[in-house]
């Protein structure tokens, strides 16, 4: 207690004296001196270094730089000394240490390791050459290491500012590499380790290999692989499946390319063993799938199919004309559009839609043109349909004139039930079913009141306007009951609701009020009573015909036939029979032919080849050595010939006698040895036996007598007939007589004789004129010849 009181008292004394000597306060910090801390005259801000006591009048201890103002306890030593608590009695002794509390508080910049009194200098590679107490620091450029005491690769020298030979090299001088960057080797670190090395390689480049690599330096790929990482398999075109590092190899046959990766021209497939399609342009195809660009006559992905219209191994034969696809010239598989049949020779019906029909039978495959139906579209739709179902001609698909429904019975603008097709309500703004939905307010001049309609095509009805009947001419009317301009053809009545044909079946246009017919059906015309009567054909002779049937009553004009003469005769006929057209006269200048249609040529053997156009009888007789009406028989060869003269007459009788050894009118019999009576001998046949000769003689005599008698009998008509037989005549009287009788039997009237004389004037020829007109046949002579 006392020890505290005494300095306090001393202090009080001193303070009491400060007033009177201001100079005592000269050690005050900032020279501020006043009444503080309960003292008068004390240093407010403390003391200058080395002093203490309220008025800073006392010195701190030696080597102490700063001590407590009140107690003088040393707080900071003077530089070069340390341990204030120890009166700063120790002098500092380490150059690189900061020394105040201890002999080495911490290291000065540029040094480190307090524990060793900072005797280590920081590396030159440290930024500002400062480092942590363990020497570590942040490095300036080109330095590395914990303490930045090493150069980065590629640099050397104290300041790491010299270049090694390359950046992979850690060196001591430019060429003395002592370490290489990972992945490099050789004395100058100029070689890189193979990529096949699992990690770094040694100085020789040796290393352990990744799985894909092989070789001491792992520089090769395992067999069968190539590429930077040896992961690419060699192509399958490589022999033995092995290739060089870049993939090149020796190729198997059919392969080509640096890596044998493609096929030689003309091949494809994994093994290049498939030939490209025959149709590939340039024989080139895609290696993988064989696809290619086809020649014009091939198709298909690999061009191995003949194009449409071609066939054959090389697809260079043309299918037949209308065949679209074939396997041979005989076997057409598909026809060109519009044709069908085995050889596509038939044309699809024009009624087939798109002209498409099936090859077999011409059945339309895409349906029919409007109006046609059935499998081959060769039937007509029910006339009410515009188009109909192909399988049901009465099932309409579309209708004319706004009608609708499967039977086209649904009126325009009507809503119909499907089955009945009866109007069941109006649509499209139309109204009034009883007027068949033909009324619509849109036809009104004023929609609300509808006082009148747009024009004469409509009439007003119960506040709306309805279309006039189509039977009204131009569809115009005044009212429902009165057409404006009369009726359309075929209708009559004020409202044109009646049909003309109801009172005259053949009338197609009649008066509206009075019922006279104006125009009749073709073939009819209004007669004086304005009733339709049959019109006679122009080809009726005199234009007269039956009013009902039209049959021409007086036959036909030339060149026509038929009951109403509407058929033409055959072109080579001038006239023909009305009932069946059989030719009655051949056309002018066609006397060279005859028959029903003047189609048969006159016989070549007619003189001038002229004949009667109905019968074929030669008009000017026969040429030499022919006979009969049509001169179609040759004179017997047994007749004797005279120069420039015919051998026989029109009946085949020899005119100049017989050739030697023959006899008879037609020289048909052979003579026996010429020894008997000349006149009789001619009649008696050659070597006939005695009995026959006798019988013959008797017959001849009888006949002779008979003839003689008859001749006398017939005297009155003799002149005409005699004329007929008066020509040069090789026959005996008996011959003539016999023959004459035959002729008379056939022409047993005087008409025959008359005809002869008439004919006689006009005929000319080498032949016996009289005979030419006589109707007969050869049989007559055969009988006579015996
Ligand atoms: C060195 O000292 C620094 C700073 O004290 C520290 O971050 C670093 O880890 C130390 N290094 C070693 C190797 O002890
Ligand atoms: C580099 O250092 C090596 C080894 O110390 C020495 O043999 C060589 O001569 C030096 N080269 C140069 C150019 O200093
Ligand atoms: C080789 O392997 C490396 C690393 O796996 C990869 O990045 C590179 O693309 C590969 N190269 C080839 C050519 O496969
Ligand atoms: C393929 O292998 C056989 C047998 O191993 C060898 O004789 C031949 O030389 C090899 N061919 C090539 C091109 O490598
Ligand atoms: C090469 O291709 C042809 C077909 O053009 C084939 O017959 C032959 O076998 C192929 N050769 C080989 C070795 O595959
Ligand atoms: C054909 O169509 C009509 C109208 O639709 C129908 O009445 C008839 O039953 C149909 N006939 C057949 C065989 O389907
Ligand atoms: C009447 O009007 C209708 C509708 O505008 C029209 O189609 C028709 O041609 C017209 N008729 C006459 C005769 O002007
Ligand atoms: C006329 O029109 C009135 C009102 O629109 C309607 O009630 C009446 O049934 C119609 N008469 C005829 C005959 O359509
Ligand atoms: C001639 O009329 C009849 C019936 O009048 C007819 O059958 C025939 O086809 C018509 N012939 C010609 C060629 O017009
Ligand atoms: C034509 O009619 C005539 C006379 O009725 C008859 O003689 C002739 O045989 C008929 N012709 C044919 C080819 O029917
Ligand atoms: C053809 O013969 C017939 C029948 O004998 C006869 O009516 C007709 O007048 C003859 N025609 C000519 C051109 O002589
Ligand atoms: C037969 O006719 C030819 C010419 O028509 C004539 O030259 C010849 O003299 C005639 N012969 C006799 C025997 O009349």
Distance 522 CA to ligand 11 centre (A): 40
pLDDT in tens, 654-668: 999 999 999 888 898
Residue 246 CB–ligand 3 contact under 6 Å: no
Q: Which residues contact 268 (CB under 8 A, 6 or more apart)?
A: 274, 276, 285, 286, 287, 288, 289, 290
Tell the residue nearest (CA) to atom 7 of ligand 2. 176
Give the residue, out of 238, 239, 270, 273, with the most ligand 5 atoms within 8 A of its beta carbon, to mutate for a pocket test: 273
What is the reported pLDDT for 691?
A: 43
How many angstroms does the Cα of residue 224 sit away from the middle of ligand 2?
47
Q: Is the CB of 615 under 6 A from ligand 11?
A: yes
For residue 498, the CA-to-ligand 9 centroid distance in Å is 32
pLDDT in tens, 440-452: 999 999 988 899 9
Name the residue at shortest CA distance from atom 11 of ligand 2: 173
Q: For a pocket test of ligand 3, which of 229, 230, 246 has the largest count of ligand atoms closer than 8 A to its C-beta?
A: 229
Give the nearest ligand 9 atom to 562 CA.
Answer: 1
CB atoms near residue 21 (< 10 Å):
10
Q: With 0-12 CB in 10 A as exposed, 13-18 as middle and 19+ as buried, what is 448? A: exposed
Query: How far is the C-alpha of 322 from the C-alpha of 238, rounded, in Å?
Result: 52
Q: Give me the pLDDT at residue 784, please.
A: 37
Closest C-alpha among 46, 39, 43 to residue 25: 43
Tell how far the Cα of 455 is from the centroid of ligand 7, in angstroms. Answer: 6
Mean pLDDT of 38-51: 84
Cα 256 to ligand 3 centre (Å): 27
Q: From ligand 9's centre to the CA of 563, what distance in Å? A: 9
Task: Judge residue 227's burial from the number of C-beta atoms within 10 Å of its C-beta, 0-12 exposed, 13-18 middle, 19 or more buried.
Answer: middle
CA of 458, closest atom in ligand 7 = 1
Cα torsion angle, 436, 437, 438, 441, sign: positive
107-121, 447-461, 547-561: range with lowest mean pLDDT: 547-561
DSSP characters for 722-784?
A: HHHT-SS--S-HHHHHHHHHHHHHHT-SHHHHHHHHHHHHH--SSS-HHHHT----HHHHHHH
Residue nearest to atom 6 of ligand 8 (CA): 462
Which of 113, 126, 132, 148 has most ligand 1 atoms within 8 Å of its beta carbon, as the pocket-test mutant?
132
Q: State the distance from the centre of ligand 3 to the C-alpha of 72, rounded, in angstroms.
A: 80
Instruction: Tell me which residues have their CB closer than 6 angstroms to ligand 8.
Output: 432, 462-463
Q: Which ligand is nearest to the CA of 251?
A: 4
Res 12: pLDDT: 46
Among the ranges given (358-362, 543-547, 749-753), the one the predictor scored with the smallest mean pLDDT: 749-753
**Residue from 700, 697, 701, 756 nearest 724 by CA:** 756
Task: Report the separation in Å between the CA atom of 310 and the middle of ligand 5, taken as the mean of its atom positions.
Answer: 29
> Whose C-alpha lies nearest to ligand 10, atom 9?
582
Compute the average pLDDT of residues 505-534.
87
Distance in Å, CA 8 to ligand 2 centroid: 82
What was the pLDDT predicted at 592? 67
Residue ranges lining ligand 7, Cβ < 6 Å: 454-457, 476
Residue range 85-94, pLDDT digits in tens: 888 989 999 9
pLDDT for 589: 56
Count CB neighbours of 681 within 10 A. 16
Ligand 12 touching residue 643 (CB < 6 A): yes
Q: What angle do CA 325, 329, 330 make, to 5 degrees?
A: 100
What is the per-residue pLDDT for 704?
A: 53
pLDDT band, very low/low/confident/very high, at 230 (cuts 50, 70, 90):
very high
Which residue's CA is minimally distant from atom 1 of ligand 1? Answer: 134
The candidate with the shortest Cα–Cα distance to 639, out of 677, 669, 603, is 669
CB 661 within 8 A of CB 780: no
Nearest CA to ligand 7 atom 11: 457
**So what's the pLDDT on residue 706?**
58
Specify the DSSP class assigned to residue 217: T
Instruction: Quickly state the pLDDT bin for 780 (edges 50, 70, 90).
Output: very low
How remote is the CA of residue 256 from the centroid of ligand 5, in Å? 13
Q: Is the pTM of this model over 0.85?
A: no
Cβ 195 under 6 angstroms from ligand 3: no
567 Cα nearest atom in ligand 9: 13
Closest ligand to the CA of 445 = 7
What is the number of the ligand closest to the CA of 234? Answer: 4
Confidence grade of residue 286 (pLDDT, cut at 50, 70, 90)? very high
Cα(291)–Cα(279) distance, integer angstroms:
11
What is the band of 590 on the pLDDT scale with cuts at 50, 70, 90?
A: low
Pocket test for ligand 4, best of 226, 237, 239 (most atoms within 8 A of CB): 239
Q: In the structure encoding, which two tokens stand for residue 704, read together?
A: 């002779």
Average pLDDT over residues 19-39: 70
* 462 C-alpha to ligand 8 centroid (Å): 6
Q: If you measure from the C-alpha of residue 173 to the centroid of ligand 2, how many angstroms do you get, rounded to a whole number?
A: 6
| Closest ligand to the CA of 112 | 1
The pLDDT score that the predictor gives to residue 581 is 85
Task: Identify the burial level of 270 via C-beta atoms within 10 angstroms of its C-beta, where 0-12 means exposed, 13-18 middle and 19 or more buried.
Answer: exposed
pLDDT surpassing 70 at residue 604 = yes
Is pLDDT at 131 greater than 90 in this prediction? Answer: yes
Closest Cα to atom 6, ligand 9: which residue? 566
Q: State if residue 612 touches ligand 11 by the CB under 6 angstroms criterion.
A: yes
What is the 3 state secondary structure string of 556-571? Answer: ECCCEECCCCCEECCC
DSSP assignment string, 676-706: S-HHHHTTS-TT--HHHHHHHHHHHHHHHHH
Quick: pLDDT tens for 289-313.
999 999 999 999 999 999 999 999 9
Residue 28: pLDDT band by 50, 70, 90 thresholds? confident
Instruction: For ligand 6, atom 2, name the residue with the nearest CA.
Output: 395
Question: Atom of ligand 5 at shortest distance to CA of 273?
Answer: 2
HEC letters along 597-645: CCCEECCCCEHHHCECCCCCCECCCECCCEECCCCCEECCCCECCCCCC
User: In angstroms, what is the span from residue 667 Cα to ligand 5's centroid?
Assistant: 98
pLDDT 10s digits, 356-375? 999 999 999 999 999 999 99
Q: Quick check: CB of 227 below 6 Å from ligand 3?
A: yes
Q: What confidence tier does 638 reach under pLDDT thresholds 50, 70, 90? A: very high
CA of 427 to the centre of ligand 8 (A): 17
The rounded Å distance from CA 480 to ligand 8 centre is: 16
Ligand 8 atom nearest 434 alpha carbon: 14
Site to substitute for ligand 2 among 163, 175, 187, 188, most atoms within 8 A of C-beta: 175
- pLDDT at position 605 over 50: yes
For the cut 80, the answer to whether the pLDDT of residue 250 exceeds it is yes
Cβ pair 299, 308 in contact under 8 A: yes
The least confident of 205-219, 441-455, 592-606, 712-726 is 712-726
| 357 Cα–ligand 9 center, Å | 36
Between residues 760 and 44, the one the model is more confident about: 44
Q: Whose CA is nearest to atom 13 of ligand 12?
A: 643
Give the distance (Å) from ligand 8 centre to CA of residue 461: 9
Nearest ligand (C-alpha, residue 265): 5
| pLDDT tens digits along 670-680 | 887 544 444 34
CB 461 within 8 A of CB 435: yes
Please state the rounded mean pLDDT for residues 106-121: 94
CA of 169 to the centre of ligand 1 (A): 29
Q: Is the pLDDT of residue 423 over 70?
A: yes
Instruction: State whether residue 18 is helix, strand or coil.
Output: helix
Q: What is the mean pLDDT of the chain?
A: 81
pLDDT of residue 707: 56
Q: Are 564 and 578 in contact (CB under 8 A)?
A: no
Nearest listed ligand to the Cα of residue 419: 6
Structure tokens at 494: 């004020």
Measuring from atom 3 of ligand 1, which residue has the nearest CA?
132
Rounded CA-CA distance 197/184 in Å is 11
Q: Is the CB of 549 under 6 A from ligand 2?
A: no
C-alpha 544 to ligand 5 mean position (Å): 97
CA nearest 337: which of 348, 329, 327?
348
Binding site membership of 228 for ligand 3 (Cβ less than 6 Å): yes
pLDDT at 690 (0 to 100): 42
Going from the Cα of 170 to the center of ligand 2, the distance in angstroms, rounded, reads 14
β-sheet bridge partners, residue 162: 156
Query: Ligand 9: residues within 6 Å at CB?
Result: 562, 564, 566-567
């Amino acid at each position: 207690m006392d020890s505290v009181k005494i300095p306090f008292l001393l202090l009080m004394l001193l303070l009491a004296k400060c007033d009177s000597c201001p100079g005592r306060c000269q050690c005050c910090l900032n020279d501020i001196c006043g009444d503080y801390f309960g003292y008068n005259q004390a240093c407010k801000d403390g003391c200058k270094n080395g002093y203490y006591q309220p008025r800073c009048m006392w010195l701190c201890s030696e080597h102490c730089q700063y001590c407590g103002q009140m107690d003088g306890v040393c707080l900071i030593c003077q530089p070069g000394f340390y341990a204030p608590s120890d009166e700063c009695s120790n002098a500092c002794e380490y150059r690189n240490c900061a020394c105040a509390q201890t002999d080495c508080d911490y290291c000065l910049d540029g040094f480190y390791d307090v524990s060793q009194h900072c005797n280590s200098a920081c590396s030159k590679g440290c930024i500002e050459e400062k480092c942590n107490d363990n020497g570590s620091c942040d490095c300036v450029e080109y330095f590395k290491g914990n303490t930045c005491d090493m150069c980065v690769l590629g640099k050397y020298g104290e300041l790491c500012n010299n270049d090694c030979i390359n950046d992979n090299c850690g060196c001591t001088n430019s060429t003395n590499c002592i370490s290489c960057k990972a992945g490099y080797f050789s004395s100058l670190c100029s070689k890189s380790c193979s990529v096949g090395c699992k990690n770094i390689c040694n100085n020789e480049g040796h290393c352990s290999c990744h799985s894909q690599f092989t070789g001491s330096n792992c520089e090769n790929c395992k067999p069968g692989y190539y590429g930077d990482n040896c992961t690419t398999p060699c192509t399958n075109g490589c022999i033995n499946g092995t290739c060089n590092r870049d993939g090149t190899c020796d190729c198997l046959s059919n392969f080509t390319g640096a890596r044998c990766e493609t096929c030689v021209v003309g091949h494809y497939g994994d093994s290049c063993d498939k030939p490209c399609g025959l149709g590939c342009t340039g024989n080139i195809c895609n290696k993988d799938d064989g696809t290619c660009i086809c020649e014009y006559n091939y198709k298909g992905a690999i061009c191995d199919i003949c194009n449409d219209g071609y066939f054959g191994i090389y697809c260079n034969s043309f299918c037949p004309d209308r065949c679209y696809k074939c396997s041979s010239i005989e076997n057409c598989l598909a026809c060109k559009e519009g044709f069908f049949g085995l050889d596509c020779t038939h044309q699809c019906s024009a009624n087939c839609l798109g002209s498409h029909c099936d090859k077999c039978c011409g059945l339309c495959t895409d349906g029919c043109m409007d109006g046609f139906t059935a499998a081959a579209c060769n039937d007509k739709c029910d006339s009410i349909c515009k188009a109909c179902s192909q399988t049901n001609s009465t099932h309409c698909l579309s209708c004319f004139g706004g009608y609708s429904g499967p039977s086209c019975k649904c009126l325009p603008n009507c809503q119909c039930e499907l089955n009945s097709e009866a109007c069941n309500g109006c649509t499209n703004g139309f109204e009034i079913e009883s007027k068949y939905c033909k009324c619509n307010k849109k036809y009104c001049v004023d929609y609300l009141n509808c006082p009148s309609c747009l024009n004469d095509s409509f009439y007003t009805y119960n506040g709306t306007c309805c279309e006039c009947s189509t039977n009204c001419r131009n569809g115009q009317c005044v009212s429902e009951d009165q057409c404006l301009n009369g009726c359309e053809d075929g209708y009559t009545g004020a409202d044109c609701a009646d049909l003309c044909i109801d009172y005259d079946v053949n009338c197609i246009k009649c008066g509206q009020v009075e019922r006279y017919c104006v125009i009749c059906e073709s073939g009819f015309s209004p007669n004086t009573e304005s009733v339709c009567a049959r019109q006679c054909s122009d080809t009726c002779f005199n234009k007269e015909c039956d009013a009902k049937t039209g049959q021409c009553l007086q036959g036909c004009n030339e060149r026509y036939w038929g009951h109403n003469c509407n058929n033409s005769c055959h072109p080579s006929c001038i006239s023909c029979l009305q009932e069946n057209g059989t030719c009655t006269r051949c056309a002018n200048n066609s006397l060279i032919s005859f028959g029903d249609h003047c189609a048969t040529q006159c016989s070549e053997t007619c003189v001038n080849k002229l004949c009667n156009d109905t019968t074929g009888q030669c008009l000017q007789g026969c040429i030499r050595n022919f006979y009969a009406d049509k001169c179609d028989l040759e004179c017997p060869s047994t007749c004797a010939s005279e120069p420039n003269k015919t051998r026989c007459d029109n009946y085949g009788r020899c005119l100049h006698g017989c050739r030697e050894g023959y006899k008879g009118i037609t020289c048909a019999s052979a003579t026996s040895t010429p020894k008997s009576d000349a006149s009789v001998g001619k009649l008696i046949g050659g070597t006939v036996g005695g009995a026959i000769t006798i019988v013959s003689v008797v017959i001849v005599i009888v006949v002779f007598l008979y003839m003689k008698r008859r001749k006398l009998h017939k005297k009155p008509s003799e002149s005409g007939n005699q004329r007929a037989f008066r020509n040069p005549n090789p026959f005996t009287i008996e011959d003539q007589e016999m023959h004459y009788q035959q002729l008379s039997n056939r022409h047993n009237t005087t008409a025959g004789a008359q005809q002869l004389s008439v004919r006689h004037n006009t005929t000319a020829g080498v032949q016996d004129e009289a005979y030419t007109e006589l109707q007969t046949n050869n049989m007559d002579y055969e009988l006579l010849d015996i």
